Structure 1
Amino acid sequence: MMEHLTNLLQNILQKGSDEDIQVITDFLANMEKKQQGDFSTYLSAALHMERQLEHDRCTIEMPITPLIHNTGKNPHGGILATLLDTVMGTLANSKCDEGFAAVTTNLNIHYLSVATEQTLRAESKILRKGKHTIVVEGYVLEPDGRLLASSTASFFIIPKFG
């Protein structure tokens, strides 16, 4: 396994473009940060999601890099959906009692504009918390506050496994 990975990496480094090498470098640096405890999941590490969780709000910032580009060199809509699900899900999970977790049951997104800056910022707040469900709203913005996407999501509260 290790030999295969070493060969793969050597081939990419020898044949890759500067952009390829930068994407690999950033990815590996973020995986190292996950090992050090700076990121809680592989996904948040891979996308370099930096979060702030306050009482009733969550904010996540992430850089726009070639890793998240679509064929038009814009952030892929699926990445914005992942960012929104993560910022809203993080907040919903923070409101669950010990031994319970929130899982997405519905995610509705309105894409409003294309990103023009180098950073995406997602924000979320609770709209309603019930006994079995939590409803959250979220937004993706540019650093200047320009709205790129708005979203609502419902989360079902379930017992944690493991």
Structure 2
Amino acid sequence: MKACIYPGSFDPITKGHMDIIDRACNLFPRVYVGVLNNTAKKNLFSVEERIEMIRRATSGMEEVEVVAFDGLLVELMKKLECKIIIRGLRTGTDLELEQQLSVINGKLFPGAETVALLSKPETYFISSSAVRELIEFRADISDYVPKEVADMINGGIAK
């Protein structure tokens, strides 16, 4: 079975992320959403909260499995026996970074491939950092995150 992994911090998961997950589900029978626990980064939401947001937002998607990880992505890929990384690209800057990471990941885990999906025009401007800023100022985030996520955040999990 060919599986793929879509890694990220997902702090929080956005409609742009959901579009990439949905499209990956059309391409692969198993889509792992890898939630990075990067202790060097200050996240607004805990790993557990981010995992719960993603699980709620993907509850109708049988192909999706949410997993947490820290350290190198390729170590998780080896454990999951998964060689395909899904990445969403919004800008040329994203492309340059993903090209670099693809080479490094391929050296660390021979056979690893990166599949890039271009963001759709209606979501390319959405970023988790912009959503976090809106949350900090208590602005409406409903246009940028799945309803389940907005409900969780508005229900009081925001810091």
Indicate the structure whose relative CO is greater, using CA pairs within 8 Å and at least 6 residues apart.
Answer: 2
TM-score (norm. length: structure 2): 0.25
**Which has a greater percent of strand?**
1
TM-score (norm. length: structure 1): 0.25
